[in-house]
Amino acid sequence: MKGRVVLYCLLALAAALPARADTLDFSFNDASADVQYAWIFVKSDYVYAEGGAVKGAGREVLGRLSGRFVYNDDEDTRIGALGADVLGHFPGAPGLDLGVGLRFFGGVTDEDQDIFAAGIGVTATYAPAFFHGVVLDGHFSYAPRVFCALDADRFWEGGFMAGYTVMPQAVVFAGYNAMSANFEDFGQRKIDEEVRVGVRLRF
């Protein structure tokens, strides 16, 4: 009996939580790789016709948690990142999704320069129906001096990509990404600047 009560409670909790639609991005070239996993939280929104029959259903995106790792052999860079965003649709522009949130970066680059940076980030994805599977995506993050530690004074990171949806759960893409930090002893340096090809998998 107690086990049944616990099961009912877990089912009720699961029903109350938003659903998830995760993504995995993996891109690379000969000298570097960029891997990101994102937990995207969505809410189902059902529309009922007369008589109780389901007329249609949609999903409202609520937020995203992400983890990322960038490796660049040429720059001897290894950077990990965590992100937390709220997401929403841009009014009057179907297919345009925007996000804003917090970013945390940590790692090491050439000359044993250690990095910790916390800042804000923005994202934009544009994939309207009339693009017929084409996806455009961009992001930018900035951490001011007050939120940087170890050897880093400032930090910024950004990039964009263009992709094509080859199936509902997969997008192939090519993208450009750059990371730059200001160091106490070396001034401003690019620690990652690459063009990569990759795939985005949706779960």
- What are the strands, taking DSSP E only, across the chain? 19-20, 23-28, 32-48, 54-72, 77-89, 96-109, 113-126, 134-143, 148-150, 152-167, 170-183, 187-202
d(CA 27, CA 176): 10
pTM recorded for the entire structure: 0.79
Q: Give per-residue pLDDT as tens, 77-119.
A: 999 999 999 988 777 788 898 999 999 999 988 878 888 999 9
Q: How far is CA 78 from CA 73, 107, 126, 138, 162, in A?
A: 9, 6, 29, 22, 25
User: What confidence category does residue 43 fall into, taking pLDDT thresholds of 50, 70 and 90?
Assistant: low
pLDDT score of 20: 58
Of 11 and 61, the one with more pLDDT: 61
**All domains in the chain, ordered by first residue:** 18-202 (2.40.128)
